[in-house]
Amino acid sequence: MKNPAGIDITDQQRLESMAVGGLVGFRTLLYKEVLRFWKVAFQTVAAPVLTAVLYLLIFGHVLEDRVRVYDQISYTAFLVPGLVMMSVLQNAFANSSSSLIQSKITGNLVFILLPPLSHWEMFGAYVVASIIRGLSVGLGVLLVTAWFANLHFAHPLWILVFGMMGAGILGTLGLIAGIWAEKFDQLAAFQNFLIMPATFLSGVFYSIHSLPPFWQAVSHANPFFYMIDGFRYGFFGVSDVPPLQSLAVVVVAFAVMAALALRMLRNGYKLRH
């Protein structure tokens, strides 16, 4: 049903609510999402930090004297930024995807859809909460693993930019996966066959220059590689590709993911049955 101006009454009510209440809906949903993972921080933050430390201890101990990636940089130091960024990406994805699929299965998604929340507010709340969780885990990994390596902070701003952009992309991708999936095994398949391989094959444990030409080309088609390579550049000032090129790829990837997620939210795809 439309008013004389041709605007759906439902949409008009949402716009009026946003004008009156400002960003109350966004702030409330963001608070709910942050509180959701922080109340179980032992599982959502501490456990990933422990996993990253185990990776560092195993790979660093085994390969420290056998692998030299950059001059003047030990393999353990090279490994730390990759593990930090891997933890950021995986946990940002897990936050938004697990929240949506749990809401679907338990049936409480209706309490998010009934209030006059715009698709922009829903998108912003889920993605910002994912960024907060991803960066929290990444900071925890950095603080613990920094004791094992002599790290440098050549370009701190690049570290922050790629950390936030990477978490934003994976938070958005988690939102898409959570909307698409209807049960936990579909979400697990999305994570196990897409997120996990793309993360591990992005240069976390190696430089792509050590790969054969074919696999170097495959790596250059992986957006995760540019997130990790740009993030590592912020520490050492050296990278496999120019940081501006990595930033361009990351920005385009975020724009594409955000456009798709916003369209799905606006149309209520698999949300309003």
Tell me what the mean pLDDT of segment 82-87 comes to.
Answer: 94
pLDDT band at residue 1 under the 50/70/90 scheme: very low
At residue 4, the pLDDT reads 40
Q: Is 214 helix (H, G, I), strand (E, B) or coil?
A: helix
Instruction: Give the Cα separation of 170 and 219 in Å (integer).
Output: 18
**Range of 18-27, 105-114, 261-270 with top mean pLDDT:** 261-270
Instruction: Give the Cα separation of 152 and 140 in Å (integer).
Output: 17
Q: Residue 2: what are its φ and ψ, rounded to 5°?
A: -125, 155
Tell me what the mean pLDDT of segment 174-190 comes to.
Answer: 93
pLDDT band at residue 148 under the 50/70/90 scheme: confident
Confidence check: pLDDT of 216 > 70: yes
- State the sign of the Cα–Cα–Cα–Cα dihedral 103, 257, 79, 231: negative
At residue 113, the pLDDT reads 87
Radius of gyration of the chain (CA): 20
Instruction: Give the Cα separation of 189 and 178 in Å (integer).
Output: 12
Tell me what the mean pLDDT of segment 156-161 comes to.
Answer: 96
Return the higher-pLDDT residue of 174 and 18.
174
Q: Residue 158: what are its φ and ψ, rounded to 5°?
A: -65, -35
At residue 7, the pLDDT reads 43
Instruction: Give the Cα separation of 38 and 44 in Å (integer).
Output: 7
At residue 6, the pLDDT reads 45
pTM of the model: 0.88
What does the chain come to in residues?
273
At residue 3, the pLDDT reads 43
Confidence check: pLDDT of 19 > 90: no
Q: What are 218-259's pLDDT values in tens digits? A: 888 999 999 999 999 999 998 889 999 999 999 999 999 999
Indicate the burial class of 111 (C-beta count within 10 angstroms; 0-12, 13-18, 19 or more).
exposed
At residue 209, the pLDDT reads 80
pLDDT band at residue 23 under the 50/70/90 scheme: confident
